[in-house]
Structures are given as structure tokens and as C-alpha cells.
Amino acid sequence: MGGFVLLERPYTLLELRCLYADSCNDTSWFPVRYPRHNPLSFGDSIFYFEPQDFNRSVLGNYHGATTQIRKRDTTFLKPTAEWIEDTAAIPDSLHDKVLTEDGYFLYYEYEYTIENLLPSVPYWINVTAFDYGSPQSGLTSLETSPTVMPVVTYALESVDEVLAKDLEVYVYPNPYRLDAGYRTAGFEGLSDQDRPDDRVRRIHFANLPSKCTIHIYSLDGDLVREIEHDIDPADPLANHDTWDLITRNTQLVVSGLYYWVVESPDGKTQIGKVAIIM
């Protein structure tokens, strides 16, 4: 025929065992043992299997097939059809093993770890959903748009982690150097290609409380800029803010050493220095 044709939706592991193993209960049979280079002979046909993340009943390292998608909780109870229809039917004693604090089923909570991210670069993250399409009619898989409701964040500690670990506020880059080529390297102005260089410069504040005030002073004690930081703790940007190197008089800052002060509503104050070389 010149190639393989997909005729049906992907099968579950149980369905494959019922079709090709000695019995549906044969837990020693795994389709990933029969890849393209070692196909399964069955009757007058041969089959090979390719694992798909969306078709895994067990995620993570699965009999030689690896994926970075993992279930967040391994102590959950799989929800019954009755519980899915009405969460009020879940016994009170089982709530912690079935539902999250927000009322979602633990069974459907997953996580994906993205490595080697830079703290100075904003990343847009989105989770899309897709179906299997209709192989018989030729309709390919349909996916929700990755541009609908994405979330922007930096690769930094969350607000909860900052509080739990009592992490201190820090500033980067420090020193800030005009000749460092931050924009050319992709650290500034990625989403503002039409703006001049002096309007995309940024000094980043990390490990901030979700609500605080940032003051920036000259060595003489003059107030250079005040930034009100008030973001919902659930927002990925709640622990991060930036200074565009513009003074409170809308002038470009000059070279020098500056003090920054972060004050939170609970009275906690953190102080540091930042050098700017223009």
C-alpha cells in the first residue's frame, strides 16, 4: 500500500492487551516492547507500536518510554463516574485523596518541567487541548489555539517558595552595563521590537513579596523612582518587577551607584545597592 494508514483513534493499554496479548489480564505484555524495529507478528499481520503522551495510563518513565509529563500526586483516588457527575457524592473522609483545595480532581493534575530557562527572559506558557480527529473521514487532530490565554512568567521562585524559604530580594543584572548588549543577546526588548533601546532597558527585582513598595535612591538620598508592586499572589509575576531606568522626572538615569529599598505592608524592609554604568 506504500505506507501505514490510521483508521481508528489510539487504543488504551487495556484495549491493546485484549487484542494482542494472551488475555486482557496479561500485565506482563507491553506494546512498547514492539517498536518499529521489532514488530509483533499476530496472525497473518505484523504490528508495531509508538507510545504517545496523550495515550498514557501511566506517565513518566514507562517501560523504557520516557516523557517529562508526570502526575503531581500519586496518592489520589481515581474519581468514579458518580463523583464526576456530582462532587457532593464524595465522602468527606476521602476529599483529601480526591480533590485539590480548589475543588479539582487530583487524578487530572499533571506537571511538566522545562529545563535551562533564563531568569531575565519572560516566557509565555500555555496548555492546549486536542482531540484525535477523525481518521476515517480524513479530519486531522484539532488543537486549541496556543495564543488564547497564555501566561507570562520568569524562571524564578514562586511567592510561596520565597515565603517558605525566607528568600531575600535581589537585583539583576548588577551592575547594569550599557555596553553589555543585553538587547542583542535577547534579554531586553523581545516584545517591543519597535521601541528604541533607551525604552526597553530593565533592571529586575526578584523574590519580591506580592505587595510592596520599591524605592530607588541616589547616594545623596534623593528619591529617584518609586514603584508600587501589588499583584495577586497566584499570578506568576507576583514575585517579580522591573525598573526601566527612568527617573520619577521621566529622565534617563545617569551612571552611578544607587540604593534600592523594598518595604512590605508587614513592616519588613530590605535594602541593597545596584550599579549602573551608562
What domains appear along the chain, each with residue ranges and CATH number? 1-67 (no CATH), 159-277 (2.60.40.1930)
pTM for the full predicted model:
0.65
Q: Is there a contact between 151 and 124 (Cβ–Cβ < 8 Å)?
A: yes
What confidence score (pLDDT) does residue 172 get?
93
CA angle 110, 32, 27 (to 5 degrees): 85
What distance in Å separates the CA atoms of residue 226 and residue 48, rounded to the nearest whole number?
Answer: 63
Please state whether beta strands 256-263 and 211-218 pair in parallel, antiparallel, or not at all (unpaired).
Answer: antiparallel
User: Which residue from 112, 111, 104 is spatially nearest to 76, judged by alpha carbons?
Assistant: 104
What distance in Å separates the CA atoms of residue 78 and residue 101, rounded to the nearest whole number?
Answer: 17
The grid cell for 260 is 534600592
pLDDT string in tens for the chain (278-residue length): 455 555 666 677 888 899 999 999 998 898 888 888 889 998 888 888 876 544 445 555 555 555 677 777 777 888 888 888 888 999 999 988 888 888 888 877 778 888 888 887 888 898 888 776 776 677 777 888 888 888 888 888 888 899 889 999 999 999 999 998 888 888 888 778 888 888 889 999 999 999 999 999 999 999 999 999 999 998 889 999 999 999 999 999 999 999 999 999 999 999 999 999 98
What confidence score (pLDDT) does residue 90 get?
93
What confidence score (pLDDT) does residue 8 get?
65
